[in-house]
Structure 1
């Protein structure tokens, strides 16, 4: 091989090496892949709900998590008998997401220096005026009557007062409200007097009707509340909301987004397949399946998020605040109370 050929081969080898080096450098300097394209890390999500309507919309999701269908995160669910069980767990960080009464969410927000975010409305109104003799057909028909009710100093009292006053009736003057300590006492009063009228929530209404077919729903307080709304800031009668600890929502937005997608699907399942949902409600010991099957259509189970959620909930809390500031924790929440994905 002559010297000229060797020189040409050497030059070619050096050129290839240079090209390889440039290619490697170009790859090293290429933009990093966006983090959103990388698989999100699985998170442990401790969630809870209360026995009753606020937990019913969750049962499809709970079942999917239990059977491994919902496996994008480690979802751990619990059901509590009363808000008092959940409040300290939320405040102490033992729970990340919870389904709680709407006004309790505001109380927790105020008591944790803004440490709570509302993700969605999950249950609208579940309160009903019931009678046995068909004497009540409108709110006006309540004039001069006595209503047996439970829940003084809480949502039932505030909702009933709002609707009575909105229809020109003054509680305690035009309508007598006899407060009982338990819903069962209201049903007992109806059993003793065919003309008695009671304010009852679902699923207690359905449970009572299964035992006494003469009990009928005379007025749906959710519909009566809606009939009083006008203008831009329309409120809704709201029973429950889905909340998250602010710290958890900030640290795990992907987990929150995944949770809410599962929740939307679960609510759709519960409303579309009442029989299957009722069986799960019974299996999770929320309420017996026969009661759930009758109650679910009347429980107003929803998943309302975003601006619609904020408008309805903020206006609802204003109604409660006007009646008793303590009902919402002493002050109306700031805008950061309403979660924006």
Structure 2
């Protein structure tokens, strides 16, 4: 009888402690995709912030991420810079830590066919009105390239499948779908790096790390941990890939060291990256102002 009572007491204690541990953790929400590569180290060796362990959670869409943030369920959130600016303009109270990802978008296709004014090459783009679409339009305008833009496919996976099925000749793809396509079809080539429209650009500040106001005093600690995590991914890509595959973030074989390199992972705090972020958001406003909620964020966004 005593033994059974002990078991029951142990069970009750375990049940009581689990929510407490979760409440004491720093909840980091990361969009499933290339952003997660920068956080592989945190998934295997969770650091601590203010003495609390970091728990990384994958979120499947920007809409779900926005819902989490509005409800205060994320202490740190990693999402597109466009979404971060939009949320700020809507009054969602998070601080901008910095930018960890500087570009994952490339123009990929097969050897150029002869074209004419009546027969323009078709370029398939996913995400109308979002970062892939805007950066593609900017690149084409800057280089005076005359493509007929096609938005039939709404996701990068669908675009990749179209390329591999021979239904698409030219397309915009990001990692990891770019590496998958290049590996499966050796006739495909990278035609342009959309993150570097010319030599003056090292990449666009496409991704944001935001943190809740309660962590304001810990910004220096957060910056240091983010820099460490990003360095781990770039210096040890094979280890980062192993972690991401073990954690089920990416399927076996989806990522390669080249995939990691093409994501341009390099964490820069907002104070250091401000000029690049402003330039990127100004570009977004020029092409798609509604993506930002109709206006550029004010100075409070960078503080």
TM range (shorter): 0.7 to 0.9
Structure 1 residues 195 and 208, CA gap change in structure 2 (3 angstroms): closer
CA RMSD of aligned residues (A): 2.4
- Aligned-residue offset at 1:266: 1.1
SS in 2 for 1:106: helix
How much has 1:106 moved relative to structure 2? 0.3
Deviation of 1:338 after TM superposition, in Å, equals 1.3
2:34 paired with 1:53: yes
> What is the CA distance between 1:199 and its match in structure 2?
0.8
Give TM-score scaled by structure 1 length: 0.74
| Structure 1: distance between partners of 2:241 and 2:110 | 27
Q: Shift in Å at residue 192 of structure 1?
A: 4.5
Aligned counterparts of 2:161 and 2:30: Cα–Cα separation in 1: 29
Q: 1:116 aligns with which of 94, 101, 113?
A: 94
1:238 maps to which of 205, 208, 231: 205
Matches within 5 A, 1:30-69: 44-65=25-46
Q: Is the 8 A contact 1:59 1:277 kept in 2?
A: yes
Distance 2:150 2:280 in 1: 25
In 1, distance between residues paired with 2:174 and 2:263? 9
| Aligned-pair CA distance for 1:126 | 0.7
| Stretches of structure 1 lacking an aligned partner (at least 5 in a row) | 1-42, 137-142
- The answer as to 2:57 corresponding to 1:78 is yes
SS at match of 1:237: coil
Cα distance in structure 2, aligned partners of 1:236 and 1:210: 24
Q: What is the aligned residue count? A: 273
Query: Counterpart of 2:12?
Result: none
Range that drifts further, 157-166 or 300-309: 300-309
Asked if the contact 1:53–1:202 (Cα under 8 Å) also holds between the matched residues in 2, the reply is yes
- Structure 2 unaligned blocks of 5 or more: 1-23, 114-118
CA contact (8 A) 1:145 1:176 kept: yes
| Cα distance in structure 1, aligned partners of 2:32 and 2:247 | 9
Q: 1:177 aligns with which of 125, 133, 149?
A: 149
